[in-house]
Structure 1
Amino acid sequence: MPEHSHEFGKYGARGVKGSEAVSRVLDSLAGGIATPVTVRRGLMARLHYLTRTPHAWAAAREAGLTVTDRTVRAWLAGTRNPTAANLERIDRAYWTVRRHNVARHLLRRLNSAGGTRVELHPLNQSQVPRPRQRVVEYRALNVRRWDRIVEAWAAADAEALDGAWTDVIEDLGSQWGQYEYVTNVGFAA
């Protein structure tokens, strides 16, 4: 059984952790506000999303948006503008609440019909000297249980997501270590 890569990229290989690639795909499946928070339209959309229900507002506070209701009303009215630090907090709170809100729906879609087929695109070895290159090929597997992966993604827990993803790719057999880092992971729900 191979172990985790401790010195990834030492000989010039390029790629990202498979769990990071999975997180990016889940983010794109979750959708959300595309306009940046630094633009007035993006800021207003995020604030309306975070303040539309008491549950969303409580989740925003839990995610680190600790301003008074009066300040939020002033932002919404346009009489005051948030600082750069508060813009970052608003954006972080928005994505935290968004992930939490769509996690159950995404989980149902990914687990339906016996799971979801995932394509693993191997790491880029074009900069690795020829004698050190591995024979790594495109692989696909069917992930039947997404519970731990989606739960870790919704909580923004990178370590738990990496552990859950490693458990999934171990189904590739003795070659799973070659897919710890990839150029891309593709799936749809």
Structure 2
Amino acid sequence: MPERNIEFGAYGAQGVKGHELVARRLDSLAGFIASPVTTRRGLTARLRYLTSSPRQLTAARAAGLTISARTIKAQLEGTRRPSARTLRQIHTAYQQVRRQNVARYLLARLNRQGRGTRVEFHPVNQSAVDRPRQRVVEYRTLNVRKWERIVAAWEAGDDAGLDTAWVDEVVVDLGSQWGQYEYVTNIGFAA
């Protein structure tokens, strides 16, 4: 079922795959550190988060953090500046650990004891499409009650799995028009 819009944008329509916007929204709900990792404040905050407890440090090591405890201490004190590769490693490990820490809480908030969460679908922008080729696409809302696969794929950082889960669990519930909402300009929901 997914990938029906193989030539999306051929006539000028503008939009993004829905699962990418869902991942961005879940990231914003996770409450990541706003300061970039390249700043002293952002680096220090991420390192403190990753080393705040032995459990956090173990999770960071499992997420790919390979720098030594001595190097971490030197970077926290400001006596050593990490390389670009190390900064990417720290940021990636931070994102994975943060997602693991908030996934269960976020899932409970989205499921709301079986009541689900209302999701808003904003259709693609067709302002650049010639008038005869424009579709009639409307703003839609849907109450989503099954978030398990979506949150699990987001937590694992599995883009293909998130795409499949989003289409299979949510988009097909829009009925026969589901293909019109594979690409959208915005996906809105709160938790």
In structure 1, the partner of 2:46 is 46
What is the aligned residue count?
A: 189
Q: Distance in 1 between matches of 2:182 and 2:73?
A: 46
SS of 1:100's equivalent? Answer: helix
Instruction: Say if 2:10 is the partner of 1:7.
Output: no
- Point out the more displaced range, 38-47 or 68-77: 68-77
Query: Given that residues 121 and 138 in structure 1 are in contact (C-alpha distance below 8 angstroms), is that contact kept between their aligned partners in structure 2?
Result: yes
Asked if 1:118 corresponds to 2:119, the answer is yes
Tell me, yes or no, if the aligned pair for 2:2 and 2:164 is still in contact at 8 Å. Answer: no
Q: Does the residue aligned with 1:25 lie in a helix, a strand or coil? A: helix
Q: Structure 2 vs 1, CA of residues 11 and 56 (structure 1 numbering), >3 Å: closer, same or farther?
A: same
What's the TM-score once normalised by structure 1's chain length? 0.96
Question: CA–CA distance in 1 between the matches of 2:65 and 2:81?
Answer: 15
Q: Distance in 1 between matches of 2:72 and 2:185?
A: 41
Query: Equivalents in 2 of 1:57, 1:7: separation in Å?
Result: 45
1:29 maps to a residue whose letter is L
CA RMSD of aligned residues (A): 1.3
CA apart distance, 1:64: 2.0
Partners of 2:46 and 2:4 in 1: how far apart?
A: 39
1:55 Cα deviation from its structure 2 partner:
2.0
Tell me if structure 2 keeps the 8 A contact 1:2–1:176. no
For structure 2, the 5+ residue unaligned runs are none
Question: Which of the residues 173, 176, 179 maps onto 1:177?
Answer: 179
Alignment partner, residue 148 of structure 1? 149
Residue 74 of structure 1: aligned partner: 74
Among all aligned residue pairs of Structure 1 and Structure 2, give the percentage whose two residues are the same amino acid. Answer: 67
TM-score by length of 2: 0.95
